Structure 1
């Protein structure tokens, strides 16, 4: 396993950072940085079974940022207007520093050169390193409908598992189907070659006894396959070089937060306008990377399906993004025999909850309203379930412990059922883009499009087993709408207009993206600010672009060097920019 000590990621694209870990580093950071030479990235020793080190891991997913804290919902009865109100702030750009402009496209040149030099240092060839292979599996950058084991058995990934940062297999609790057999939840180990299974002693280590699938880069007949083996060499959804760029540049994770990074001083010397422009360019690079993922999925399944995949996964948050995405892949079957009539949201809710495995089979016997809703849902589900029995997710695919009630998958599926029931709902986003050029009106209209119609049951219940709420709550608030806009809708629109007959529309998407209201501050952003800005506030207050730009810099530079910034080119590039020299 290759480990990057600066940042790590914990699984899928849609997560909320909940803990901040500080890796303890002995010695003086300053003296260590002075005596060290820039290293190439090297493979770390294989994890040994035993207790984890004395540190905590920062869990985060850079595809989703925690959004702004919503205003308290208006206290009203069912049917009340839940439209959130956002506060817009005009950035103040004031600095006494000498101003040097940030030329258009400068940041993109920086990241391309940094990436190419990094690859040259570590020695790039046609074989990925193990860390990249793990990212490919975690993000499922695969032709998911065409996966086959080395001996030809079809593989269906219902959930790729959760990244394991301790001793043992690389992914825990994956849910897989190999051939016609639904496997019990188990683990996945990722290696470059099948022979690594025995070379690393996994066959003798009890910690690997639950491994259901060995994911490798390449397998051949000469190798001894100890268990089902899935080679990925010919199963990627994009060229390896593109995946290396996209996935390496969006990795984030844990790093020592006790001292600022080497770039904090140079960044402090930039004029406010220049720093804002630099962050905007980094944010646009992030937008395009996310758009590339939507484009890759659209090439496989079409633009509508790519959007559903992104929306479902974003609503799954950290632990449930993959089962939600699997349900997105089944929306065609959910709607297949409903096309002849406008389906009711309730009917789609019943089908989605049945497919998810989250439809309770016992009444609460405490709340008559819940039991009546459940009985009606079963009346819909039992007539349809035999035809989709092969697709029903096991309850083990979900991780519900610790989830906030408002984010429970039952409630999120109730929300997307309203979207699926609305005729032409996905087509409305193209019309929205063409109609709205004013940021305030665009945000308000987006909230209106995302807010479902009245739902008397789900406005007063968090889950099917929870007590009725004293006051109605919206199915989607402004914070989550901000996340969906930044991480799903705008990147999807950018990719779609770029591939269509009017690529000039991508400029309009970029203008909206750069002006969009900020998401809620979170542990990932606070940690990044301590490293890059020594804890100072971001320039351009109230804009999500500044947040996205910081995260992209972290992915492009911090993720490929160590906590002492040894060998990082970013500080010197910033000094050159401050001095008015922008050549590479």
Structure 2
């Protein structure tokens, strides 16, 4: 038994509620278990119980062993002065409240079905990546849709913590925040942190001064990423290096302390090429986030981000090695990645920040309009009968796997709850 399982049993009343008695032999009736408190303080707030014929409204504290009350020194904590019931798995000690009166205690162990405990143990001991895989899909399609929407909202709220820090650092400049997030997306997973450092070293107002000169934008981005170090034979990178040398002195710029990675990466994702495409995006657009806020159709966003790197890059993936001619367009697949990882999260947080329900819904609708992501995780869910129809689904399933299945948070999962109920 652990305290989270005990909370689950109490919250959903998975115990025999007939003829309940406190450990002192007084009759007990549970009217409402209270609301689970995920912050500091008692486990459940605003519970309603009847002891003998007296109605009590207040807080409930849970412990695996009654003696943990004393171990946690709750009697001396004013946050626990309004405890109307102490719910324990094992009543191993008589507990007194802050007023030295016996604390009404309910021992749950004799009241809980062994089947519920066995189901929980099976989930916890299952070595599969998805512990409930043999029982899936479990939920109806409608129930899955509701659960996926909750998961996506949770995932976006989780991402908002980072964005909020950027916003504070940027003095509430949303264009700056969008620029930083956009750079992270262009860096992909491998180079996201380095690209973020590049973005924070080159604020949008600095880039705006050079947006009419594509080679200066490239010089700034590539130079700050530490990619213009060393010698070059081709005239174009030599020119970029000279431009960066001048601009870095002018603005007192210091490149990031670690160069981006190229190893085990497809050439189209090389950081040199992605930075060149990012430079072209800056060159061809202005006030991007303002445009995105007013966008109605997802098609417009694809059009705005459909840029092609400068001519030099048609023959190159790096600054040194020449390659066969291919126009280096951003491509729909990469724009798809940008929408999921930058546009929707920033728009979602902006909507929450401004209490803008319409934009919040629009950001979720955009996810539903996008094709689903196809990867090892989504394929695994599909194998077990869970549908993946759009990007909202795939983002939800990624979050479910990473934040619930991997962490064995079955008690907080809609699927786990239904299985533990035996439904």
The answer for the alignment partner of 2:94 in structure 1 is: none
Residues 1:398 and 2:398 aligned together: no
TM (norm. structure 2) is 0.64
Deviation at 1:337, TM superposition (A): 7.9
The answer for the alignment partner of 2:156 in structure 1 is: 287
In the alignment, the residues of structure 2 paired with residue 299 and residue 425 of structure 1 have an alpha-carbon distance, to the nearest angstrom, of 20
Which one of 170, 181, 186 corresponds to residue 315 of structure 1? Answer: 186
8 Å CA contact 2:308–2:328 kept in 1: the answer is no
Gaps of 5+ in 2: 6-34, 44-61, 69-123
Deviation at 1:312, TM superposition (A): 1.0
What is the SS of the residue equivalent to 1:268? coil
Residues 1:303 and 2:141 aligned together: no
Pairing 1:333-348 to 2, within 5 Å after superposition: 336=206, 339=209, 342-348=211-217
In the alignment, the residues of structure 2 paired with residue 538 and residue 263 of structure 1 have an alpha-carbon distance, to the nearest angstrom, of 12
What is the SS of the residue equivalent to 2:155? helix
Residues 115 and 484 of structure 1: is their aligned pair in 2 closer, same or farther, counting only changes over 3 Å? farther
Higher helix share: 2
Residues 114 and 272 of structure 1: is their aligned pair in 2 closer, same or farther, counting only changes over 3 Å? farther
The answer for the alignment partner of 2:300 in structure 1 is: 445
Residues 577 and 546 of structure 1: is their aligned pair in 2 closer, same or farther, counting only changes over 3 Å? farther
Deviation at 1:360, TM superposition (A): 4.4
In the alignment, the residues of structure 2 paired with residue 353 and residue 296 of structure 1 have an alpha-carbon distance, to the nearest angstrom, of 26
Deviation at 1:328, TM superposition (A): 0.6
TM (norm. structure 1) is 0.47
8 Å CA contact 1:418–1:453 kept in 2: the answer is yes
The answer for the alignment partner of 1:273 in structure 2 is: 142
Which one of 395, 407, 418 corresponds to residue 548 of structure 1? Answer: 395
Residues 417 and 360 of structure 1: is their aligned pair in 2 closer, same or farther, counting only changes over 3 Å? same
Which one of 507, 518, 525 corresponds to residue 361 of structure 2? Answer: 507
In the alignment, the residues of structure 1 paired with residue 201 and residue 264 of structure 2 have an alpha-carbon distance, to the nearest angstrom, of 27
The answer for the alignment partner of 2:335 in structure 1 is: 481
The answer for the alignment partner of 1:522 in structure 2 is: 375
Residues 1:557 and 2:404 aligned together: yes
Give the root-mean-square deviation of aligned CA atoms.
3.5
Which protein, 1 or 2, shows the higher relative CO under an 8 Å CA cutoff with sep ≥ 6?
1
8 Å CA contact 1:561–1:568 kept in 2: the answer is no
The answer for the alignment partner of 1:472 in structure 2 is: 327
In the alignment, the residues of structure 2 paired with residue 306 and residue 508 of structure 1 have an alpha-carbon distance, to the nearest angstrom, of 20
In the alignment, the residues of structure 2 paired with residue 384 and residue 295 of structure 1 have an alpha-carbon distance, to the nearest angstrom, of 30
Q: Which has the larger radius of gyration?
A: 2
Which one of 330, 352, 370 corresponds to residue 498 of structure 1? Answer: 352
Deviation at 1:350, TM superposition (A): 1.0
In the alignment, the residues of structure 2 paired with residue 407 and residue 569 of structure 1 have an alpha-carbon distance, to the nearest angstrom, of 36
What is the SS of the residue equivalent to 1:363? coil
Gaps of 5+ in 1: 1-36, 42-111, 124-254, 365-370, 437-441, 580-584
Pairing 1:424-439 to 2, within 5 Å after superposition: 424-432=287-295, 435-436=296-297
Residues 1:574 and 2:418 aligned together: yes
Which one of 518, 539, 545 corresponds to residue 387 of structure 2? Answer: 539
In the alignment, the residues of structure 1 paired with residue 353 and residue 235 of structure 2 have an alpha-carbon distance, to the nearest angstrom, of 48
Deviation at 1:329, TM superposition (A): 0.3
The answer for the alignment partner of 2:32 in structure 1 is: none
Aligned length: 312
Residues 256 and 348 of structure 1: is their aligned pair in 2 closer, same or farther, counting only changes over 3 Å? farther
In the alignment, the residues of structure 1 paired with residue 417 and residue 355 of structure 2 have an alpha-carbon distance, to the nearest angstrom, of 37
8 Å CA contact 1:327–1:355 kept in 2: the answer is yes
The answer for the alignment partner of 2:277 in structure 1 is: 415
Residues 537 and 469 of structure 1: is their aligned pair in 2 closer, same or farther, counting only changes over 3 Å? farther
8 Å CA contact 1:419–1:425 kept in 2: the answer is no
